[in-house]
């Protein structure tokens, strides 16, 4: 049996969406179970894995939790260097910290170094896939996809398009955004594990001409994703209203230009009006919850239970570097805290689903990543459930397996990541 690995430990699996069916029916934690990997893919679970994997290389993760690799459904790799920058809300934060840093990506060497550092940080944190914005520079996209291919990571990315309300040196045009995005899409979409996302940054930084051009590109390439921002801060929404006087609401600025669809990823989506919620549900669009960002930049409290419970598709993300952490564990903890502020407790099973299968669904890659199931890629994160003295002493008091997992979600960081597997290869 070539290239076979048998991993033993607690194994997390899913059979449904734990926000629309009771979590206990949708999420399963197989204690002392097993995963068999052959040639980069998961081929068997549980007793079948143990039986078929008799001759496989053995990896004993007893007491650890074997999860799908985490999927960060919205991030900005070019903001790696300015994460945790103090004191600003969204628009001032963009102008003060983000745009000057993104300007530096005109230098391909800087983009390459940052892309490599960023992906290594993700893997340190157990994140095996990301949907990332790049900058307006096509070479920033090349840098990320190239670094991802070197690590065999399934990454979604796109050139960020902006042709107004951004500084000199950080604007393209409607035509060049179309041309550059098309060239990158043709070159990278479905090449290896790369998927392309057409990426208008957000309505305020695109003219209607640019929005329309990108809508046309999406119509010509309906298999591509589209990623952007939606209704993050109240001031931003007022600004959008002034810039798009004929739009019914923020979502309509996208809808009017062909930028609303099932393969659309809408980051934040905090301050939605009922029409927007209805339309997002009707088209099956993906919402991306960015909890550490929403508190760090002071944006608001995403209605996770209301929206996911109503059947909208939701994934979880760091929104690095508006978000204050690279860690999806920290993002799960922040999602829990925000829901508590709204009066509801999200279960650990639901949090883990959001960071894996839920995120894979909004990325339209559930047939490849986000679950531990035969046929899927062996992208895995192995969590030590007692990784620090503080967590270990709480873990020692756990009453059941879920109670043993929850302290790591709330208090864990990269120290909890015992091992990461990407396409069946253990990261050393
Ligand atoms: N809205 C437009 N651009 C950005 C960005 O880079 N980060 C966040 N959090 N919101 C945005
Ligand atoms: Zn963002």
Q: What is the CATH number of the domain that holds 137?
A: 3.20.20.140
Q: Which of 316, 343, 362 is the last residue of a domain?
A: 362
Q: How many residues does the chain have?
A: 428
Judgement on whether residues 203 and 214 belong to the same structural domain of the protein: yes
Judgement on whether residues 87 and 18 belong to the same structural domain of the protein: no
Question: Which residue is closest in CA terms to ligand 1's atom 11?
Answer: 229
Judgement on whether residues 212 and 291 belong to the same structural domain of the protein: yes
Residue 414 backbone zone (phi > 0: left; psi -120 to 50: alpha; other: beta): alpha
Determine the atom of ligand 1 nearest the C-alpha atom of 79.
6
- Can you tell me the distance from the alpha carbon of 173 to that of 154, in angstroms, rounded to the nearest whole number? 29
Judgement on whether residues 50 and 78 belong to the same structural domain of the protein: no
Question: What is the share, in percent, of the chain residues with pLDDT greater than 70?
Answer: 100
Cα–Cα–Cα angle for 41, 45, 49, rounded to 5 degrees: 90
101 lines ligand 1 (CB under 6 A): no
3-state secondary structure of 70: strand
Judgement on whether residues 131 and 103 belong to the same structural domain of the protein: yes
Which pair of tokens denotes residue 62?
């007893």
160 lines ligand 1 (CB under 6 A): no
322 lines ligand 1 (CB under 6 A): yes
74 lines ligand 1 (CB under 6 A): no
Predicted pLDDT at 197? 99
Mean pLDDT of the chain: 98
Q: Which of 319, 343, 362 is the last residue of a domain?
A: 362
Q: Average pLDDT of 89-104?
A: 98
Residue 82, Cβ neighbours under 10 Å: how many? 18
Predicted pLDDT at 417? 98
- What's the pLDDT band for 10 if we cut at 50, 70, 90? very high
- Helix (H) or strand (E) holding 330, with range, is helix 328-341
Q: Which of 362, 380, 403 is the last residue of a domain?
A: 362
| Structural domains of the chain, count | 2
pLDDT in tens, 164-203: 999 999 999 999 999 999 999 999 999 999 999 999 999 9
End-to-end CA gap in the chain? 22
Q: Which ligand is nearest to the CA of 297?
A: 1
Candidate from 170, 229, 290, 334 with most ligand 1 atoms within 8 A of CB, to mutate: 229
Domain residues for the domain of 57 are: 4-69+370-427
Residue 127: phi and psi, rounded to 5, are -95, 120
Per DSSP, helices labelled H in 192-296 are: 208-220, 234-243, 250-255, 274-283, 291-296
Predicted pLDDT at 292? 98
Judgement on whether residues 165 and 81 belong to the same structural domain of the protein: yes
Question: What is the share, in percent, of the chain residues with pLDDT greater than 90?
Answer: 99
Q: Tell me, rounded to whole angstroms, the distance of Cα 373 from its chain centroid.
A: 20
Q: pTM of whole model > 0.85?
A: yes
Tracing tokens 């070197």 back to the chain, one arrives at: 150
Candidate from 96, 132, 202 with most ligand 1 atoms within 8 A of CB, to mutate: 202
Determine the atom of ligand 1 nearest the C-alpha atom of 202.
2
Judge residue 425's burial from the number of C-beta atoms within 10 Å of its C-beta, 0-12 exposed, 13-18 middle, 19 or more buried. Answer: middle
Residue 281: phi and psi, rounded to 5, are -70, -45
Judgement on whether residues 242 and 267 belong to the same structural domain of the protein: yes
Predicted pLDDT at 428? 83
Residue 62, Cβ neighbours under 10 Å: how many? 8
| Pair 340, 37: CB distance under 8 Å | no
Q: Average pLDDT of 107-128?
A: 98
Nearest to 146 by CA among 124, 114, 170, 121: 114
229 lines ligand 1 (CB under 6 A): yes
- What's the pLDDT band for 232 if we cut at 50, 70, 90? very high
Q: How many CA atoms lie within 13 A of 369 on its CB side?
A: 36
pLDDT in tens, 332-377: 999 999 999 999 999 999 999 999 999 999 999 999 999 999 999 9
Q: Average pLDDT of 121-147?
A: 98
What value does the CA radius of gyration of the chain take, rounded to a whole number of Å?
A: 21
User: Is residue 1's pLDDT more than 80?
Assistant: no
Judgement on whether residues 267 and 174 belong to the same structural domain of the protein: yes
Judgement on whether residues 391 and 299 belong to the same structural domain of the protein: no
User: Is residue 71's pLDDT more than 80?
Assistant: yes
Predicted pLDDT at 2? 63
- Span from the CA of 6 to the centroid of ligand 2 (angstroms): 38
Judgement on whether residues 338 and 285 belong to the same structural domain of the protein: yes
- Span from the CA of 321 to the centroid of ligand 1 (angstroms): 9
Judgement on whether residues 62 and 90 belong to the same structural domain of the protein: no
- Span from the CA of 295 to the centroid of ligand 1 (angstroms): 13
Candidate from 160, 166, 201 with most ligand 1 atoms within 8 A of CB, to mutate: 201
CATH code: domain of residue 419: 2.30.40.10
- Span from the CA of 427 to the centroid of ligand 2 (angstroms): 28
Question: Which residue is closest in CA terms to ligand 1's atom 3?
Answer: 201
Judgement on whether residues 62 and 94 belong to the same structural domain of the protein: no
């Amino acid at each position: 049996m070539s290239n076979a690995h048998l991993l033993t430990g607690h194994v997390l699996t899913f059979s449904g969406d734990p926000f629309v069916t009771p979590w206990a029916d949708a999420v399963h934690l197989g204690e002392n179970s097993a995963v068999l990997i052959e040639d980069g893919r998961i081929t068997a679970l549980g007793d079948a894995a143990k039986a078929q994997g008799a001759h496989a290389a053995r990896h004993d993760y007893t007491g650890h939790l074997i999860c799908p690799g985490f999927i960060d459904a919205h991030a900005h790799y070019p903001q790696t260097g300015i994460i945790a920058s103090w004191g600003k809300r969204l628009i001032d934060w963009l102008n003060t910290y983000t745009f000057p840093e993104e300007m530096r990506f005109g230098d391909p060497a800087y983009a390459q170094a940052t892309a490599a550092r960023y992906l290594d940080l993700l893997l340190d944190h157990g994140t095996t896939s990301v949907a990332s914005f790049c900058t307006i520079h096509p070479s920033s996209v090349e840098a990320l996809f190239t670094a991802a291919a070197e690590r065999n990571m399934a990454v979604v990315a796109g050139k960020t398009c902006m042709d107004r309300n951004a500084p000199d040196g950080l604007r393209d045009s409607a035509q060049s955004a179309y041309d550059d995005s098309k060239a990158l899409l043709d070159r990278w979409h479905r090449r290896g594990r790369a998927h392309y996302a057409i990426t208008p940054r957000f309505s305020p930084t695109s003219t209607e001409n640019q929005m329309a051009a990108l809508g046309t590109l999406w119509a010509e390439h309906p298999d591509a994703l589209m990623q952007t921002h939606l209704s993050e801060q109240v001031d931003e929404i007022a600004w959008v209203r002034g810039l798009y006087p004929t739009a019914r609401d923020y979502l309509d600025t996208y809808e009017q230009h062909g930028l609303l669809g099932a393969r659309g990823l809408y980051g934040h989506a905090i301050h939605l009006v009922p029409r927007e919620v209805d339309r997002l549900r009707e088209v099956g669009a993906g919402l991306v919850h960015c909890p550490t960002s929403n508190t760090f930049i002071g944006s608001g409290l995403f209605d996770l239970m209301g929206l996911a419970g109503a059947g909208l598709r939701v994934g979880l993300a760091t929104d690095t570097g508006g978000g204050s952490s690279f860690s999806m564990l920290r993002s799960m903890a922040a999602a829990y805290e925000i829901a508590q502020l709204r009066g509801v407790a999200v279960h650990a099973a639901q949090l883990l689903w959001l960071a894996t299968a839920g995120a894979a669904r909004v990325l339209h890659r559930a047939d490849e990543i986000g679950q531990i199931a035969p046929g899927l890629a062996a992208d895995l994160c192995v969590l030590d459930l007692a990784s620090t003295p503080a967590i270990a002493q709480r873990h020692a008091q756990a009453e059941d397996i879920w109670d043993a997992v929850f302290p790591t979600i709330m208090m864990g960081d990269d120290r909890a990541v015992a091992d990461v597997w990407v396409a069946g290869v253990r990261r050393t």
